[in-house]
A and B are shown apart, each in its own frame.
Chain A
Amino acid sequence: MTESDRRVVVTGLGPVTAIGVGADDFHAAQLKGLSGIRTITRFDATDFPVRIAGEVDLPEDLTLPPRQAVSADRCTQLAVAAATLALRDAELDLAAEDRTRIGAVVGTGTGGVTTWETNSAAMLKGPHRLGARFIPMSMANAPASRLCVDLGLLGPSSAVVTACASGAEALIVAAQMIASGEADVVLAGGTEAPVSPMMVGGFAKIRALATRNDSPEQASRPFSADREGFVLGEGAAVLVLESAAHAARRGARVLAELRGYGRTSDAHHVTAPHPEGAGAARALEAALRSARLAPEDVSHINAHGTGTSYNDSAEALALHTALGRAAPRIPVSATKSMTGHSLGAAGAIEAVASVQALVHGVVPPTLNLDRPDPAIGLDVVGDVPRELPVRAVLSNSFAFGGHNVVLAFTAPTAA
């Protein structure tokens, strides 16, 4: 039997990022303005044009033991850590729940790329040398599947693959499961482990990446006049979403409401955003309508803010188009200035940052904004976090492929 209040609320946060692992560490790192970008250690990048990235240092208690680690690509291992943290944060006792009513949706841009790469090398010696777990470890739904198997989740589960919007879109898919009555609780988020030779080499090849190899912490410069590309970052985040009725019944602490969302397609180019941000603007407008918010109701925007020339200018135009006169007055942050760009995890990581801005009443900083791009025309919050009442946050995710996703979070309200 489903319950009546199908509003979707956030009750647990599990960020796993290059600047902090777990809600408290991640929040503290944001306010300190830490950079997680460093010289790559996950592989020998000596001969690569780009030798920097955000890397996650998983604490021992979140690291899978060897027997389980050999069957999970790095992206799945990060997702398991994120889910563990989210459940802990939500104080959700799965043993006391009807697990047929609990699902999982985990987005990823590329799935198990390290597994692909090591098996491609083995394949050079012949197909019989492929690892037995090559397919199950590299498939994009492996992280979602792993959560269900490990936690015994019996409700709906899925993976979302929309490049850099995957993590945000996973929350929408999860919210729809809850709103429709298909599930009461969904572990939702994204994961990515892109610090691999093919991914770093591939993004460097199309000149998408910043090349400040000698000053990694200064490399990710969203909305800066001298931005030169994004910086890849490993990461994952899982949020516990549940129906307001279910959260109330178990006496859960409600952090925020996922009040609405907007999704559109650019229908323009596979990598370049629409030059005027037309698709992104429509997604923003759709999110406002869906959440029943006026532009002046928006307290804060967590920007997609990658630090590429194209994205940041198109995103700024989209914000001006969709929010009109309110746009220049809304404080904006770009989490990727600290974490790097975690592709299919970014939208979920930034959803966590958005919820934390609501909960703590503080807008986190954007690093490396010493020379703001005058053409942006937004109130991008620089080095110092800004305290203010935060009641509604929009979180943008705009992807390769032209997928635009905007999430609207609000402070929890009574039914």
Chain B
Amino acid sequence: MTNQTAAGEALLARMTDLLCDRLGLLPEEVTSDARLREDLGMDSLDLVELVTIMEEHLGGTVDDEVALSLTTVGEVIAHVVDAERPGALA
């Protein structure tokens, strides 16, 4: 559990950097409960870019269905943590 939290925090920091760099977001906006569309103002192209960022990070693909289900930064992080578990992408 502790390990998972630490991993989650490290990942949040890394994803925050990527989201700021690639989507022009401000670090203070990128919180776990920030909603992608409503709070961060992301449009359909931003969401595609977000998936691209996730895929680059994971070195694999993110299913469209999964991508469409993500609504908050926290869910994005959780998905990446989940996908990074050994064997998850096999």
Contact B61 A128 (CB under 8 A): yes
- Contact with B45, one of A66, A67, A129, A133 (Cβ below 8 angstroms): A133
Which residues of B from 34 to 78 have beta carbons under 8 Å from A? 41, 45-49, 52, 55-56, 61
Q: How many B residues have CB within 8 A of the partner chain?
A: 16
B23 CB to nearest chain A CB (Å): 6
Write out the residue numbers on chain B whose beta carbons fall within 8 Å of the beta carbon of A70: 22-24
Write out the residue numbers on chain B whose beta carbons fall within 8 Å of the beta carbon of A69: 24
Which residues of A from 117 to 135 have beta carbons under 8 Å from B? 128-133
Contact B52 A131 (CB under 8 A): yes
Residue A65 at the chain B interface, CB threshold 8 Å = yes
Specify the main secondary structure of chain B where it touches its partner. helix
Bound-state CA distance A198–B52 (Å) is 25
Write out the residue numbers on chain B whose beta carbons fall within 8 Å of the beta carbon of A136: 45
Interface size class on chain A is 10 to 19
Q: From A133, which residue of chain B is reached at the shortest CB distance?
A: B45
Write out the residue numbers on chain B whose beta carbons fall within 8 Å of the beta carbon of A129: 52, 55-56
Q: From B23, which residue of chain A is reached at the shortest CB distance?
A: A70
A125 CB to nearest chain B CB (Å): 8
- Knowing A67-B41, A128-B55, A128-B61 touch, does A133 contact B24 (C-beta < 8 A)? no
- Knowing A67-B41, A71-B45 touch, does A132 contact B24 (C-beta < 8 A)? no
B55 CB to nearest chain A CB (Å): 6
Contact B23 A67 (CB under 8 A): yes
Bound-state CA distance A70–B41 (Å) is 14
Residue A68 at the chain B interface, CB threshold 8 Å = yes
Bound-state CA distance A303–B61 (Å) is 54
Contact B49 A131 (CB under 8 A): yes
Contact B41 A132 (CB under 8 A): no
Q: Which of A's residues lie within 8 Å of B, judged by CB?
A: 65-71, 128-133, 136
Q: Which of B's residues lie within 8 Å of A, judged by CB?
A: 20, 22-26, 41, 45-49, 52, 55-56, 61
